[in-house]
A and B are shown apart, each in its own frame.
Chain A
Amino acid sequence: MCDSCHCTETTKSDSEKKIIEVHESLFAANNEKALANKKLFAAAGAVVINMISSPGAGKTTLLEQTIDHLAGTLSIGVIEGDIETERDADRIRAKGVPAVQITTGGACHLDAGLIHTGMHKLMAQGNKFDIIFIENVGNLVCPASFYLGEDLRMVLLSVPEGSDKPAKYPGAFKTSDLYAITKTDLLPYFDFSMEEARKEALQLNPELQILELAAPKGTGLSAWIDTLQNLINGKN
């Protein structure tokens, strides 16, 4: 009974207020999907690498060179994330490797749900892979917050971006296992300090393995290929 007019409507009293303790991560849904992805990756027999960098640091170029080196010896699959266009997937397909393009239509990162869908599409093109590369959306910040279920996370930093970037954008460096400094052929033209780029990243994450690459020139590629091979051997 409502006490102001005695109608039969009940009024809301404080006792109807409920406080619910939830204590659940807002990334929980993503992390659950990432664990489901891990099962898909295992079913495909693949080790999976999540590549993170700012736009243009050389992710697709490194993939093209890697494919040239490994074609015939390993079976490779690629999931490409971009805001728009099929262009990166087309570059990979041109090398004869199965590729799925995910366009986020604006979102600045890939999440585990998008990879789950992408992975089903990739498996329609081949059911066993030695290695699957996920090229994240070009962005040095947001992708670091989203675990995709990958075995190895790598961050790429290109010489023209500047050696102060690990300290300024720590997230990706803190959460990665491997750090590739790319476009080292351009060192003579930029004030990039290799010492700063290494030291400040290692301060954030002492476990980081560091590679120096100039992929189109072949520089550093053998150390990179060794890393991939060790990763695959470690999984088998």
Chain B
Amino acid sequence: MHEFSLAQNLLGQLLELAAQHQARKIIRVEVQLGESSNIVADSFQFGFDVLSKENEICRSAKLVLQPTAGNDLILAQVEME
């Protein structure tokens, strides 16, 4: 249920990164999703897809979720231009 708020946090962080690196567009975002994180990959992806449409910079960003061990959710890598 909190997948949406986590997706919201992620987008906030992406906007900060874009500003830091003077990027106009986020292209690809890689996130590692811990298998015991209680986070449902599909709804996190859905939340991201819906919320990313709310601003120009993230509008066409592609979220790639990598399953990993543990219970964390880690922003690994961001591709931007």
Contacts and interface: CB of A to CB of B under 8 A. Distances in A.
Interface of A: 12, 16-27, 29, 107-109, 139, 141-142, 144-146, 170-171, 174
Interface string B56-81: 00000000000000011111111111
Nearest to A21: B77
A29 B2 CA distance: 15
A20 B22 CA distance: 12
Given A22-B76, A24-B13, A27-B73, 4 more contacts: A17-B80, A22-B17, A107-B2, A142-B38
A26 B73 CA distance: 6
Given A12-B81, A174-B36, A21 B76 contact: yes
Contacts, number: 71
Contact of B77 (A12, A19, A27, A145): A19
A22 B78 CA distance: 7
A171 B2 CA distance: 14
A234 B26 CA distance: 50
Contacts of A25: 72-75
A21 B74 CA distance: 11
Contacts of B79: 17-20
Contact of B37 (A16, A17, A145): A145
A171 B9 CA distance: 21
Contacts of B23: 18
Interface of B: 1-2, 5-6, 9-10, 13, 17, 21, 23, 27, 31, 36-39, 71-81
Considering the complex of A and B, which 4 residue pairs feature the smallest CB-CB distances, nearest first?
A108-B1, A26-B73, A171-B38, A17-B81
A17 B27 contact: yes
A109 B2 contact: yes
Contacts of A144: 38
A19 B31 CA distance: 14
A223 to B, nearest CB: 30
Contacts of A26: 6, 9-10, 13, 31, 73-75
Contacts of A170: 36
B81 A20 contact: no
Given A19-B78, A20-B17, A174-B36, A145 B9 contact: no
A141 B1 contact: yes
Contacts of B73: 25-27
Contacts of A20: 17, 21, 77-80
A219 B37 CA distance: 35
A164 to B, nearest CB: 18
A18 B80 contact: yes
A141 B6 CA distance: 15
Contacts of B72: 25, 27
A106 to B, nearest CB: 10
Contacts of A27: 72-73
A191 to B, nearest CB: 27
Contacts of A21: 76-77
Nearest to B44: A26
